[in-house]
């Protein structure tokens, strides 16, 4: 099992940097939703520890497949934080090299994608996180979601299959919500992946609710990690609010995958901080004390407290980091807002030539 980077503090600082960036990203879009500049928003607030830490454990050349609450993983996968926010976190910190290419440009296109702009990755044809970004020269492989839950699990396993077939040692990382574990594709993909020993890691972001449906109406096992046994693979539950814990679990899953031993199922326990989407009232169904419990375990609060407790950063350092992240997001989103809308007359082919 790979250990946390020797400079544990610096690694946590790096994870925190991306988590904060992801948080500011989401807060910005939540605000835009509230002011009517955006018609829908699914928030990643509360998922950052899991998604950032998991993405820290993979490398360039590995594939990432995300859903609607995975901005943390996407930002970690796309961006060199040293390039876009120089000096924000120590250069020495990373256990993982950033992929190459122009991070700022990618970030701007991501904002365009969210806003349906022409320069978004799908040129307005697809919504928010429903797109791919594959830059082979930089080892960047990111395949976005379709709406149908569960459907991307086999596809993710398929990228792992391609790696195995090509004899390289890359791995595939895929996120899903606990609701999607009820789909047939969850089962079919994990079973095949295990039989074929595919280098595949499935991370369940268990935020205890699927739209309005609590886990008690979604499954009846003790924990979803228990499903691992039925596939003959490790099933590990982890505190999804603790990036270090997630990183540790992920790292051993990655090692297992790279060494040809097959998939791992990780269940990261998270809080439900927002409604299903910002446009519905589903949060009303979450009892107040349950909500309070989640708020008190906000992963950003926790990581910041830890950084302060360990004297890695001061409260004012944190404020500065927050401000720099928020400003960068603000600038980029504003820039994206001023970019052109897609051209309705531009033809788009249905078949590849």
Partner 1 sequence: MPTESSTDQSEILYIDAISDALRDEMRADPSVVLMGQDIADHGGAFKITRGFLDEFGDQRIRNTPIAESGTIGIATGAAMLGTKPVIEMQFADFISCGFNQLVNVAAKMFWRTEHPVPMVIRLPGGGGMGAGAFHSQNIEAWFLHTPGLKVVTPSFSGDAYRLLRAAIRDPNPVLYFEHKFLYRRERSAIDKNTTPDRIEAESNVLRSGTDITVISWGWMTHRTLEAASTLAEEGIEIEVIDLPVLCPLDITTILESVERTSRVAIIHEATSTGGFGAEIAAQICQDAIWTLDAPVLRITYPDSPPPYHKDLEATRIPSAERICSELRQLKQQ
Ligand X SMILES: Cc1ncc(C[n+]2csc(CCOP(=O)(O)OP(=O)(O)O)c2C)c(N)n1
Q: Which residues lie near Mg ion (CB under 5 A)? A: 177-179, 207, 210
Q: CB neighbours (10 Å) of residue 139?
A: 17
User: Residue 232's binding partner, choosing from a copy of itself, ligand X, partner 1, none, with beta-carbon cut-off 5 to 8 A by kind?
Assistant: a copy of itself
- The reply on whether position 151 binds a copy of itself by CB under 8 A is no
DSSP 147-203: SSTTTHHHHHHHHHHHHHHHT----EEEEEEGGGGGSHHHHHHHHHHHHTT--EEEE
Q: Is 66 helix (H, G, I), strand (E, B) or coil?
A: coil
Question: Is residue 251 within 8 Å of 2, Cβ to Cβ?
Answer: yes
How buried is residue 220: exposed, middle or buried, by Cβ count under 10 Å (0-12/13-18/19+)? exposed
Q: Give the CA radius of gyration of the chain.
A: 19
The pattern of x and - marking residues 82 through 121 that bind partner 1 according to CB under 8 A reads ----------------------------------x----x
- The reply on whether position 146 binds ligand X by CB under 6 A is no
- The reply on whether position 218 binds a copy of itself by CB under 8 A is yes
* Nearer residue to Mg ion within complex by CB, 144 or 179: 179
* Nearer residue to partner 1 within complex by CB, 192 or 308: 192
* Nearer residue to a copy of itself within complex by CB, 35 or 216: 216
Half-sphere exposure of 28 (CA within 13 A, CB side): 24
Quote the CA–CA distance of 291 and 83 in Å, as a whole number: 37
Question: Is residue 235 within 8 Å of 228, Cβ to Cβ?
Answer: yes
Q: What are phi and psi of 134, to 5 degrees?
A: -125, 110
Tokens of 56: 């820290």
Tokens of 307: 């950084």
Which residue carries 């309705």 as its tokens? 344
Buried b (16+ CB within 10 A) or exposed e, 1-20: eeebbeeebbbbbbbbbbbb
- The reply on whether position 154 binds partner 1 by CB under 8 A is yes
- Smallest gap, in angstroms, from Cβ of residue 215 to ligand X? 9
Quote the CA–CA distance of 312 and 315 in Å, as a whole number: 10
- The reply on whether position 64 binds partner 1 by CB under 8 A is no
Q: Which of 200, 276, 299, 328 binds ligand X (CB under 6 A)?
A: 276
The pattern of x and - marking residues 160 through 199 that bind a copy of itself according to CB under 8 A reads ----------------------xxxxxxx--xx-xx----
- The reply on whether position 179 binds partner 1 by CB under 8 A is yes
- The reply on whether position 189 binds partner 1 by CB under 8 A is yes
Contacting residues for 333 by C-beta, under 8 A, at least 6 apart: 28, 29, 32, 111, 115
Site for ligand X in 16-75 (CB under 6 A): 69
User: Residue 207's binding partner, choosing from partner 1, a copy of itself, ligand X, none, with beta-carbon cut-off 5 to 8 A by kind?
Assistant: ligand X
Question: Is residue 205 within 8 Å of 50, Cβ to Cβ?
Answer: yes
- The reply on whether position 139 binds partner 1 by CB under 8 A is no
Tokens of 151: 């459907």
- The reply on whether position 240 binds ligand X by CB under 6 A is no
Q: Which of 17, 124, 177, 228 binds ligand X (CB under 6 A)?
A: 177
Q: Which of 13, 28, 69, 227 binds a copy of itself (CB under 8 A)?
A: 227
The pattern of x and - marking residues 10 through 39 that bind partner 1 according to CB under 8 A reads -----------------------------x
Interacting residues with a copy of itself (CB under 8 A): 182-188, 191-192, 194-195, 216-222, 224, 226-227, 229-233, 262
Interacting residues with ligand X (CB under 6 A): 69, 147-149, 177-180, 205, 207, 209-211, 276
């Amino acid at each position: 099992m790979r250990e946390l980077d020797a400079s544990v503090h610096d690694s946590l600082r790096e994870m925190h940097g991306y988590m904060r960036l992801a948080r500011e990203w989401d807060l910005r879009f939540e605000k835009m939703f509230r002011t009517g500049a955006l018609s829908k928003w699914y928030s990643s607030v509360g998922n950052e520890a899991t998604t950032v830490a998991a993405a820290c454990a993979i490398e360039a050349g590995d594939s990432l497949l995300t859903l609607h609450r995975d901005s943390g993983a996407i930002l970690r996968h796309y961006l060199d934080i040293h390039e876009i926010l120089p000096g924000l976190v120590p250069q020495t910190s990373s256990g993982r090299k950033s992929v190459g290419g122009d991070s700022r440009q990618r970030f701007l296109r991501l904002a365009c994608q969210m806003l349906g702009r022409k320069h978004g990755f799908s040129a307005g044809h697809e919504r928010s996180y429903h797109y791919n970004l594959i830059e082979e020269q930089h080892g960047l492989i990111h395949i976005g979601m379709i709406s149908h839950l569960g459907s991307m699990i086999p596809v993710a396993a398929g990228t792992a299959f391609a790696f195995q077939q090509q004899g390289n040692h890359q791995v595939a990382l895929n996120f899903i919500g606990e609701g999607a574990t009820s789909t047939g594709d969850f089962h079919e993909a994990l079973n095949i992946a295990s039989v074929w020993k595919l280098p595949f890691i499935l991370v369940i972001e268990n935020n205890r609710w699927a739209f309005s449906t609590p886990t008690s109406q979604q499954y009846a096992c003790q924990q979803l990690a228990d499903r691992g046994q039925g596939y003959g693979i490790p099933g590990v539950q982890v505190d999804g609010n603790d990036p270090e814990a997630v990183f540790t679990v992920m790292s051993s899953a990655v090692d297992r995958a790279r060494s040809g031993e097959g998939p791992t199922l990780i269940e990261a326990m998270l809080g439900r901080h927002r409604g299903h989407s910002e446009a519905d009232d589903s949060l009303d169904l979450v009892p107040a004390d349950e909500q309070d419990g989640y708020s008190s375990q906000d992963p950003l609060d926790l990581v910041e407290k830890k950084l302060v407790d360990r004297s890695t950063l001061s409260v004012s350092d944190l404020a500065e980091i927050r401000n720099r992240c928020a400003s960068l997001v603000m600038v980029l989103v504003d820039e994206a807002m001023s970019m052109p809308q897609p051209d309705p007359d531009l033809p788009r082919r249905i078949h590849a030539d």
